[in-house]
Structure 1
Amino acid sequence: MSDFGTVLFKSGQSSEWLPNSSGLYPNRGMYFGDGLFETMVYDGQDIRFFEYHLERIREGCQVLGLDEGQLDPRQLQEVVIKRSKQTQKRIRWTVYRSGMGRYTPATDQLEQVLQIAPFVPAPQLKENAVFCSAVHLAYSSFSKLKTISALPYVLAGKEKLEQKADEIILCDSAGNIAEAGASNIFWITGKQVFTPALEAGGIAGVSRRLILEHLAKLGVNVQIGLFPKETLLQADQVFTSNVTGISMVKRLEDVEFDCERPDFLTNLL
C-alpha cells in the first residue's frame, strides 16, 4: 500500500477494478483536467450520503458530455466495502475522459480511479483563517462541480501555508465570499444563518446540501446570497463543512468569533 492508500483503475466498459498500474499515462485528466471527482466517507458499513455524491457526479458527466451509463455505483460500493474491511475510510472517486486528442474531445467514454485511504476527520476548531489574495473564483456552468481542474484551490492552499493559517477564504472577483479552501462556509449573525450563493463560484458541496436540508427541517431560515467580506467579519460565529466534518473558526484576520458549536450542528456529519 502506498501513501495514497489502495488505488484501483477501471477503464471504459471493463467489468473489473484493477491495480492502478494498469492505467494509461498520460491521459486527458492529466493533460486537460477533463474530469470530475467525489470525496466520500465510508463509515465502516456504507459510503455516507452516497446518493448525493452519485447525483453530483452524474450531473458533472452530463455537463462534460461523458457517458454516465458506464458508471456502476453498486459495484463501486461493493469494492469499497470489500477493501475497507469495516473500518472508516476516505474514498476518492475520479472520473475522466478516455483517449487523448487536443482540447476538443474525441469520445464520451470514461476512465475511473478509486482511491481508498485512511479517514481523517475535520478538526473541531480552526484557530486562524485568512482571506485569499492570490485567487478569485468565477461562476460558470461547471463551477459548482468538483472538477479535477483544481489549480485555484492548489494556489489557495499554497497561500494558506505561507500565511501559516488553518483555513483560507476565497472570494469572487467582486469581493463576494465564495467558500473556504476545501470546504463550504456558513456564518451566524444574531439568530440568522448565512451562506454564499453558488453564483459566487463555490462548489455545491454535499455537506452544504445536508446542512441546508437539516436547517429547513428545523424551520431555520438561511440567507443565501452574494455577501462582501465585511459581512463575514461582522459575524458572531463562523463554521466550515465538508464530508469529513464541521469545523468552527476561531479567528479571521483580526476578528475573533464565538467557537461554541451551535445546537443544530450536534451529531450532524
Structure 2
Amino acid sequence: MHDSGLSQLDRGLSYGDGFFTTMLVENGIIQLWSYHQQRLLTAQQQLGFPVLQLDKIKAKLEQTLQDKALAVAKITVTRGLGGRGYSLPEHVSPSVFTSISEFPSHYLDWRQQGIRLGIAKLRLASGNITAHLKTLNRLEQVLLKQEADTQQVDDLVCCDIFDHVVEGVASNLFWVKDNCIYTSDLKGAGVAGTQRAFLLDTVSQSPYQLKTGQFAIEQLYQADELFVSNALLQFAPVKQFAEYSYSQFPVCRWFQEVVKHAS
C-alpha cells in the first residue's frame, strides 16, 4: 500500500476501480469515524481489495487536522497500478489518497433554514451490484447535479427505473407521516450513507417509528415533513418540495440534536 501522486496507469483513473468516503471534521476530530471505517471495510471486502490499515490511515490524516475547527476530510482508495485491460494485476497494491478541504459554509444555512427539493427526470440504474457502495463511479450523480442546477433547486428526489423513490443526488432522503419515518431500503439502487446508518441505529431511541421499503413518489406528496442527510450536512430539513412548502421540522430537529453529541 502506498500514498502517492496519481499515475496514468492507476486503475482508479482508468476504470473507476476504487472507493472513497468523505468525512466531517469538527475541532480536529473526524465525526462518526466508526461508520466511515465500516463503509471503507465493506467496500474493501466486497470489491476484493487487500486488507487496508485503516487505523494507520486515520492516524496519519488526524496529524493534519489538529487545527481544523470545521473542515472536510476525504479518503480515496484505488486498486493501484495495473496494466491495460480489466483483468487485475498479479500483485495488487492499493493507492490511498487523503485530502482536506474547506467546509461548505452554505451547509450551515441549509441545516437551519432547509433546502429546496425538486424531482429528477433522470432515473437511477437499478440492480447494480456496487450501487450501495461509495465507488469512484459517480457519473450518474454528476449528471443529476447538472439537472438540479438547471432546475435551480438544492437537491433532487431521485427515483430508479421502476419509479421507486431512492435518494437525493448526494444525500439520503427521509419523509415523515403520522410520526413514522420512511426511507428507501436501497435494495435496487442508492448509496448507504454514514448518516443514514447513524439514523437507523438511533431511531429506536427516538419517539418515532421507522419503515424502509420501496415507495412511489406519490407518498411524498402526503408527507408531514421531509429531510435529507449526508456526512457533511448531517441532517437538513426540506422547506420546499415541488409545490409544497414546510415550516415545521420536529423529526429533523430531533436528529440534529442527537448527532451533535455523537462522535
Same fold (TM over 0.5): yes
- The amino acid that maps onto 1:169 is V
**Distance (Å, rounded) in 2 between the aligned partners of 1:256 and 1:96:** 43
TM-fit CA distance, 1:27: 1.9
- The amino acid that maps onto 1:220 is Y
SS for the counterpart of 2:44 is helix
- The amino acid that maps onto 2:100 is I
Q: 152, 171, 179: which one pairs with 2:140?
A: 152
Provide, for residues 122-165 of structure 1, a one-character-per-residue CA deviation record: whole Å limited to 9, x for no partner: 32234421111123231333211101100110000010011111
Hey, what does 1:8 align to over in structure 2? none
Provide, for residues 97-117 of structure 1, a one-character-per-residue CA deviation record: whole Å limited to 9, x for no partner: 122231222243311111111
Tell whether the 8 Å contact from 1:167 to 1:180 is kept in structure 2 after alignment: yes
Tell whether the 8 Å contact from 1:135 to 1:155 is kept in structure 2 after alignment: no
Provide, for residues 157-180 of structure 1, a one-character-per-residue CA deviation record: whole Å limited to 9, x for no partner: 010011111111111111000000
TM-fit CA distance, 1:219: 5.6
**Distance (Å, rounded) in 2 between the aligned partners of 1:218 and 1:128:** 26
State yes or no: 1:111 paired with 2:95.
yes
TM-fit CA distance, 1:210: 0.6
Provide, for residues 35-86 of structure 1, a one-character-per-residue CA deviation record: whole Å limited to 9, x for no partner: 1000112222421111211111111111111102xx2223222222221233
- The amino acid that maps onto 1:115 is S
SS for the counterpart of 1:135 is coil
Hey, what does 1:242 align to over in structure 2? 230
State yes or no: 1:99 paired with 2:70.
no
Cα gap change, 1:235 to 1:76, in 2 (>3 Å): same
Counterparts of residues 180-219 of structure 1 (less than 5 Å) = 180-218=168-206
State yes or no: 1:79 paired with 2:60.
yes
State yes or no: 1:226 paired with 2:207.
no
Number of equivalent positions: 250
Q: Give the percent of matched residue pairs that are identical in Structure 1 and Structure 2.
A: 23
SS for the counterpart of 1:128 is strand
Q: 144, 150, 153: which one pairs with 1:165?
A: 153
**Distance (Å, rounded) in 1 between the aligned partners of 2:150 and 2:49:** 38
Q: 233, 249, 255: which one pairs with 1:265?
A: 255
